[in-house]
Amino acid sequence: MRVVLPLVYAAIASLASGCAGHSVRPASLAQPPIVASDAVRESLPNDYLRVSFLPAGVQVASLSRPGAIRAFATATPLYVPPMRLKDLPYYSGLVNNDAQVLVAMRCRPPQPERVDAVLATWPNVFLAIQRDVPVDAAACTAQSPSTSTQVACYARAFSDPPATIVPSALARVFSYAGALYDAEHAPMAKWLQDNYGIFPAFAGSGYSVKDSYSLTTDPMSSQQILVKSVSSEYILKNVSLSEAGCRCISVAPYPVRSEDRLDPDFITKEGGDGACTSVPRLGANSH
């Protein structure tokens, strides 16, 4: 979930295929495990999947950690049929951690307005910040000592006029967002990380960048980033699991856990309603 570079997204992508550029591949007998559809991008799915790896003993009662404003999630339909745990996190810019507790939640908010979910694009982020940290115009006329006010004013100052040239329009928003990662705006970048979970690997295109967890050690070219941007992601308000309509499971490490598949229907069946229930292993009926 985390790169601020000019990105152009023009096609619906299959997560398993790696979607290389301009070629069209014939259908094969083995179907890709994840297929994005028009409906997922053009309307909110109201069915979200969020996966985390946490130290043992951490209690989970909300979508993200206490104090955070927003949380990232992907669309559950993208992960049906289910994938092996060792493969799934990479598509959301995460990495599997065999040593930590897996926390997986499937959330279908009964009142969608409570979570205020939006596709994770930079324009949507700037609008969400204005809703989450409201400030009036007068607060932005002088430099504020408050980092949250500085971020809110920065978001408020963003303009997104209609354009006839797609690369130019995208360059405008990504250049504006990219400035958040220069030395002058370091406190604002830290605020985004702490409150929104937005790291430098956040594309802001509505797609997470596969394998972006390792960007600091394995940098990517723009071509690699474009090819790996294949899984839609959303930002939701950090509300309680109950408010978000979540079913949640926690799974302690066990041998070859990474080889088992994380089935959203299993989360629905075995997960706690508005709370995380411990299950012994993925795919195992705990009753």
Reported as a single tens digit per residue, the pLDDT across 232-274 is 999 999 999 999 999 999 999 999 999 999 999 999 999 999 9
Domain contains 129: yes
Residue 144 lies inside a defined structural domain of this protein? no
pLDDT at 80: 93
Low-confidence ranges of the chain (pLDDT < 70): 1-42, 284-287
Contact 37, 13 (CB under 8 A): no
Q: Residue 123, preceding bond cis, omega within 30 degrees?
A: no
Q: Which domain holds residue 256?
A: 38-134+200-278
Q: What is the pTM of this model?
A: 0.84
In-domain check, residue 12: no
119 domain residue, yes or no: yes
In a domain, 10, yes or no: no
Residue 3 placed within a domain? no
Q: Based on the structure, what is the number of domains in the chain?
A: 1
Is 19 within a domain? no
Task: Quick: pLDDT tens for 31-55.
Answer: 444 444 455 555 899 999 999 999 9
- pLDDT value of position 16: 34
- What pLDDT was estimated at residue 230? 87
Kindly list the distances between the CA atom of residue 67 and the CA atoms of 11, 31, 115, 189, 196, in Å, as whole numbers in the listed order: 36, 41, 15, 17, 10
- Which pair of structure tokens corresponds to residue 245? 């309509």
Q: Smallest Cα–Cα separation from 75: which of 28, 123, 24, 38?
A: 38
Q: Give the model's pLDDT for residue 11.
A: 34
With respect to residue 230, please indicate whether it lies within any of the assigned structural domains: yes
pLDDT given for residue 12 in this prediction = 32
Under 8 Å between Cβ of 4 and 33: no
Instruction: Give the Cα separation of 18 and 227 in Å (integer).
Output: 7
